[in-house]
Structure 1
Amino acid sequence: MTRTFKSLFWGSCVALAAGCAIGKSESFIFTTDMPSNFTYEAVAQYAPVKGETCTVKKPDVGYNQRWRLEFREKYKPDSEIPIYRTVEGCRLVIYRVELDIYAAYGEDRGDFGSDTAVIVVREQLEEHQKRTFDTAGESAINGQCQWFFRTQGPKRRLSKSLICKKVDAQGMVTKGRPVGAYTLDQLPGKTVKLNIKLADEERPAIGDTWVKVPGGWKRCMGKSFEDQYAFCFGNYKDFSTFRMPDGKQCSIYPGCTE
């Protein structure tokens, strides 16, 4: 199953997608490399530049620029993000980009999981804190996301949550969300790329509720089928069926039938 999404830009330069020009010295490109059923929503956050004493009356519009997603529509992964903006006569500079990562696992509107990543921008950083750029002007933020599954409701419908972690320079998954830090003078005309891989293995979201068996996982029955928590409590013989997001009744995950 594949679901794609659409990313739109709005703010003081609403015509950006239609050709509202931003000089390369005043912007950078944010792009992604993610599985086909993933997308993102980015919110670029701004504050008055150093030395400014002005304020913006409408912070939701003045301080932030947002790229919004819409479900089930193809989107382009590239977003041109201004470094500086002027709103209500106030000169603003970017200091952070909040990234919400979304992934679909079913066709219903609520069948998705999400987690976050972040780009931090400062005037100065210690050398060891700064991300570097290659000769093509691209810098990578690497992360890995993993699905965690559970059952919910009276029919024990399977649902999933998404957890994303950063990947270090040695390719190891570490604690914390994917993050990249840059100085203002690093970004003009450059590209920041969020690379997200999906872990091969899915895991139960709640401990002692599923049992690992050859071919997948089986759901413990608990006290009865109506038991919403249904912890195993040492009973690894009595299992229940569950429903996949598409409505199929199954006895083992992910293969459905044993």
Structure 2
Amino acid sequence: MQLAVTLLCIGLLTISGCANNDRESFIFTADLPPDFAYHAKVMYKPADGETCSVRIEDKPFLGFNREWRTEYIPKSVIPIYRTVNGCRLAVNRIQLQIIGSYGGDTGDIGSDSAAVIISDKVNEQEKGVFEQGESLIEGECQWLFRTQGPLRRLSKGPRCNGIDTHGMLTKGKPFGAYTLDQLPGKTVRLRIKIAVDERPSIKNTWIEFHNGWKRCLGKGMDDQYGFCRENKKDFSDFLMPDGRTCSIYPGCTE
């Protein structure tokens, strides 16, 4: 009976956030900007005291939000221990893909990474802190834009960085580190904000004006890089993801 109740609560956690009383699991969740989602790959290794081993073919990992386009659930219940082929495993890493959508086509997405590291020992300066059962990992993503193809269709991708305890951007990706004994029954929350300004992903290909960015012509429309170099007077139109022909970004017309 107790097993049935536990399993029921785990199922409800994913859907409605029932209290996490399972000491064999913790919750990972994320507060992301609109049109963003995450995909998580949870990695495991043999627990302390185990002499067994597992192969990649044994699938010693779990996936969450693989189908994020159609069935995205921000809250995931992460088992701290699993048994695979008779080997008791302990969680040691969550690899996160932060995905942002910027258009209506299937390919109008970009992504960057983040991570949660779990170990027996963690540097005290990096070790996550829990307040009222929750620990916060903060970060910021900035859209970087470029053009592709002979029609110079605009595409974008997010560049994500961590935010330290002083509110400053770090050079690294959003990141959290914990020991195994910190996690049972707790919640780890990733909170990502979006930068106000967007910037070109390749330097010296756009020129910034007071009302936006103009795409340098380069050697012509077939010039995939189209570096401005010394020519900062000749610009090209480009296609927005919605099909509009524009001359300036993020606005379309001057």
TM-score normalised by length of structure 1: 0.88
The yes-or-no answer on 1:65 pairing with 2:62 is yes
Mapped to 2, the partners of 1:216 and 1:36 lie a distance apart of 23
Match of 2:220?
Answer: 224
TM-score normalised by length of structure 2: 0.90
Residues 49-69 of structure 1: CA deviation (Å, up to 9, x unaligned): 11211233x535541011133
Amino acid at match of 2:47: V
The yes-or-no answer on 1:186 pairing with 2:182 is yes
Residues 146-173 of structure 1: CA deviation (Å, up to 9, x unaligned): 1111111010000112110000111111
2:113 to 116, 137, 148: 116
Mapped to 2, the partners of 1:53 and 1:173 lie a distance apart of 41
Match of 1:211?
Answer: 207
Match of 1:173?
Answer: 169
Match of 2:29?
Answer: 31
Mapped to 2, the partners of 1:140 and 1:191 lie a distance apart of 9
Mapped to 2, the partners of 1:216 and 1:63 lie a distance apart of 48
Mapped to 1, the partners of 2:13 and 2:126 lie a distance apart of 35
Amino acid at match of 1:169: T
Aligned residues: 242
The yes-or-no answer on 1:241 pairing with 2:230 is no
Amino acid at match of 1:208: N
The yes-or-no answer on 1:89 pairing with 2:86 is yes
2:45 to 43, 47, 72: 47
Q: Match of 1:140, SS?
A: strand
Amino acid at match of 2:22: K
Whether the 8 Å contact between 2:139 and 2:163 is mirrored in structure 1 is yes
Mapped to 2, the partners of 1:121 and 1:249 lie a distance apart of 48
Mapped to 1, the partners of 2:200 and 2:56 lie a distance apart of 40
Match of 2:17?
Answer: none
Question: Over aligned residue pairs, what C-alpha RMSD do you find?
Answer: 2.0
Q: Match of 1:24, SS?
A: coil
Q: Which runs of 5+ in 1 are unaligned?
A: 1-12
